[in-house]
Structure 1
C-alpha cells in the first residue's frame, strides 16, 4: 500500500483526527488484525522461536534435501550408465541440464504469483508431488526426447520451492534469524550429495536384467519425494497467522516477534505499484546480475562426477568421493552463514571472503599437473566455497526487500537470473575441453571475480541508503492508519495499524533499514 492507496481509501475525521486514515483490510498485511502494542517478553519470544524451529526446520530440511537430490540425479547418473543407457551424446546430456533451467525460467514468475495468491504450503506440496511423479518417469525413458520432457516438468515444479522457502522463512523469523535458517535448509544440498553418493554406490552393485543402476536411482528418489509431498500437505503451515501448531495467543505473539523486520507477513492482494518498483530498484538488478553470473558456476553440480572421474578415479571411487563433496558443502555453507552473522562482517564481506578460496581452487584445478590426482581433488573441494555466497544472498534478499508483491517479484527476477546462469553454464563443458577443462575453469575464475565485485557494490549501495535515511527528517505519513474491526458484540471499532504491517515496500517505509 502506498500513500496514494491510503488517500484513495481514507476517511478524514474531525480536527482531533486530522492525520488519520482508514485503510481497506485487503491493502494491509494479513497480520495487521493480530498486531498488538503490548511488548513481547524475550523469554516468550525465545520459547516461541524454538517451537517454530521444531515444526518448520525438519520439514524444510527434508524437502530441500530431496529437491536437490532429485535435481542432481542427472549428474549422478553420468557414472551410472545414463549416457549409453539412454543413447545420449555429451551435447544431449548437457542439454538435459539446460532444459531444466529454461523451464524454471519460463515458470518462475507464474510460480511466484501463485505463491502470493494461494496458500504457500499447499502450493509447494502440489508441485512436490508432480515433481516426484516426473522423477519416477525418468526410469521409463530410453531416449533424449523422453528425458527432455521429464526434465522440463522438473524445472517447472522446482520454481516453487526456493522462493516458497524464502517467503516462509521471512514470515516466521526475524531478519537476524533468517540468514542462518536459510543456511540450514540450503546446506541440506550437501547431505543430498552424501545421500546420493551412498545410494549410487549401492545401485552400482545391482544385478537386474533390463534395469540399469541409473534407473534404480530415479525410482528410489522418486518414491521418497512422493512421501515428502504427502507430509508437506498435512504438516507444513502456510503462515504464522494460520499455523496449526500455534495457539491463537501464539499466533499473535509470532506476529509481534517479527514486527522488528518492518516487512510484515504477507498480503494476498497483488499491487501494481510494488510490481513496478521491483523493476525500477537498482539493487534488484545488482542481485540479479550476481545470480546470473554466479550460477554459471553451478553447472559444476551436473559435471562434478565426470570431473572427478576424469581426474583418474574409477566409477566406484568417484561415487564414494562424491560423498565428500557433500561434507565439504555442508561445512562451507555452515561456516559462511556463521561468519555472516558477525556484525563486523555481515553478508557482503563474508560473501567476498568465501570467493577467495573458491578462486584459488579454480585456478589450481586448471594449473596443477594431470598426474597429481590428489592435488586436483583437494583443489576442486576448495573451489566448492563458490556456492556459499549465493546461499548468503538468498538469506539477504528477504531482509532488504519488503512489500509482499515487491518481495515475490524480486524473488522471481533474481531466480530467473539464477535460471539463466544455470542454463548457460552446461554449454561451456565441451567434449573437446576434456579431461582438463581449462576453458570452463577459466570462465569460473572470471565469474568468481565479477561476483565478488558485485557483492561489494551491493553492500556500498545499502550502506549509502542507510546513511541517507539516518540524515532525513522522520516521515510520519504512515503513523496513523487504522482498519475497522467488528467485535464479538457487534460493535465497529477502529484499530491502529503499525507501519510494519501496512505492506509498505522498503523504499516507501523510511523507517526501514537495510541489513548489511
Structure 2
C-alpha cells in the first residue's frame, strides 16, 4: 500500500465493481495477477465514501500494529461481556415475546376474544406478514442510521406494542397488534448478524451466533415459568385475565432491555465506551482478517445485483423457509399439541415446553464447540446431519402412537435452532460487501417470514388433535433444508478450491492492506476465504 488517508481525495470515475478484468494494465503473467494489480490500483484511488467505516480510523500507528495473542484474548473476553451478554438477553426476550400466544391460548385468550380457529392461525401468520413487509426498509435503516440507537428504539416500541395486546377486546385488534409487532422484529436479527460480523473474527462468529441463538431457549424457560405461575396463582381471578397480565409482564421486561441496549451498545467498535485506544486499534486490526470491516453506509447497486445473482442467496432463502414452516407452527400450536394430542393438562403443557428451552441453550453452543476444536471445516456438514436428525424426529412425532416416542420426536426438533444459527453465521462471515450482506440478510429473513406465515396455516382444525397435514409439512421442510445446506457446502468448497489455485499462480503479488476495508464483496475479493 502506497497511499494513506490523504490519497483518497481523488475520486475515480470507475466504481470498484467496474470491469477490473478489462483494465488498461498490460501484464504478461496470468489473468489472476492482472486482476489483482488492477483491483489494487482501483482500491488505492477509491473515494473514502466507498470505503468501510473502519478505514476512517486507520492511521500509521494502527497499520504497524502487531497483535499480542494474550492481549487479544483478554479483549475478546471484554467484548463477550459487554456485547454478547446484551445480544443473548435480547434474543431471550424476543423468543419469550413471540411464544406468548402459545401460552396465552391456554389461559383463555381465544375464548375472551371470541377468536375462531382460523383467526388464531392468522395470529402467527399476521406477525410475520408485518415482518415481511417491513424487512427490507428495516435493513436499509440499519445501514443508514446508527445501528445501536435504531435497534434500541425498535425494541422499546416492540415492548410497548406487546403490552398493548392486553387492551385488545376483539380478534381484529389483536391481529393488528401482532402485525405491528412483526414490523419491529424486522430490526432485530439483522442487527445481531451485523454486530457479530463487526466484533468477531470469522472463526469466532459461528460460536457466538450459536450462543445468542441458543439463548432463545432461556426465553422459552422464562416464558413457560411466568405462564405456569399465572395459571396456578391467578386461577380464581376474573376481573383482569391472566393472559393479559402475561403480555404486560413480558412487554415491560422488553422495554427495560431495549433502553439498556440503546444506552450500552456502541454503533461501531471504534466508538465503544468500554474500549481504550489500544483495544480499538486491536478491533480494527482483527477486522482485517475478515476482509469485511465494520460496514459502509453507502448503498451500492452493483452489490444488490450480485446478491441476487449469487446462488447462495437462494439456498439461504430455501433453508430459512424450510426451518420456519415447522417453527411457525410449533411456536403457536406447540402447547396445543402437548395438551390435545399428547394428553397433558394445560398447566403441564406449559411446563413441558421447558425441556425444549434447555435443549436450545445447550445444544447449539455444544455443536459449535465440537466444530471449533475437533471438526474444523465441517460446520455446514454437521448442519446437514442435524437436519437429518430432525427428519427422524418428525417421523417419530408423525408416525408413532406412544406418547414417549412422540415426545422424543417433539424435543428433537428443538436442535434445529443450531442450523438457524449456522445459516445466520454464514450470512455474517461468508457474505461480504455491506450492501450485499444487508441484502442477503433480508432474503434470509424474508424466507424466515414466509415459512412462519405458512407454518400456522398447516394446522387445520379439521385435522385436530393429530394435525397430520402439519406434521407432513414439517417432514418435507426438514428434507428440503438438508438439501439446501449441502448445496451451500458444495458451492463454498468449490470456490475455496478454485481461489486457492488462482492465488497460488499469483503468489508473488500481495494485495494492499486497504483491500480489507474497501467494502468488496466476497466474489470480488480474491483474498476472501469462505468458512466451511
Give the TM-score of the pair, scaled to structure 1.
0.91
> Could you tell me how far 1:388 is from its partner in structure 2?
2.4
Q: 1:202 is matched with which residue: 202, 208, 229?
A: 229
Matched, 1:396 2:426: yes
Matched, 1:454 2:484: yes
1:183–1:333 Cα contact (<8 Å) kept: yes
Deviations 1:149-206 (A, max 9, x none): 1111110000000000000010000011111111111111111111011101111121
Distance 1:264 1:477 in 2: 22
Deviations 1:451-483 (A, max 9, x none): 111111110011111111112144999935xxx
Matched, 1:434 2:464: yes
1:94–1:426 Cα contact (<8 Å) kept: yes
Give the TM-score of the pair, scaled to structure 2.
0.88
Equivalent residue for 1:193?
A: 220
1:2–1:508 Cα contact (<8 Å) kept: no
Q: How many residues align?
A: 491
Distance 2:388 2:319 in 1: 16
Matched, 1:387 2:421: no
Q: 1:313 is matched with which residue: 335, 344, 347?
A: 344
CA 1:3–1:332 in structure 2 vs 1: closer, same or farther (change >3 Å)? Answer: farther
Deviations 1:309-365 (A, max 9, x none): 121010111111111221122233233323343444622111111123211111111
Correspondence 1:4-83 to 2 at 5 A: 4-5=14-15, 20=41, 21-35=44-58, 36-83=63-110
Q: 2:318 is matched with which residue: 289, 293, 311?
A: 289
Equivalent residue for 2:385?
A: 353
Q: 1:324 is matched with which residue: 352, 355, 368?
A: 355
Equivalent residue for 2:28?
A: none
> Could you tell me how far 1:275 is from its partner in structure 2?
1.4
Gaps of 5+ in 1: 481-496
Correspondence 1:192-271 to 2 at 5 A: 192-204=219-231, 205-206=233-234, 207-271=236-300
Gaps of 5+ in 2: 1-10, 19-23, 25-36
Deviations 1:192-240 (A, max 9, x none): 1110111011111214332111111101001111111111111011111
2:200–2:287 Cα contact (<8 Å) kept: yes
Give 1 or 2: higher helix fraction.
2
Task: Please provide the CA RMSD for this pair.
Answer: 2.2
Distance 2:520 2:492 in 1: 18
2:211–2:361 Cα contact (<8 Å) kept: no
Distance 1:200 1:3 in 2: 61
Distance 1:2 1:116 in 2: 24
2:17–2:302 Cα contact (<8 Å) kept: no
CA 1:295–1:6 in structure 2 vs 1: closer, same or farther (change >3 Å)? Answer: closer
Distance 1:150 1:477 in 2: 58
Deviations 1:373-402 (A, max 9, x none): 233222211232233212211112211111
Matched, 1:500 2:516: yes
What SS does the aligned partner of 1:467 have?
helix
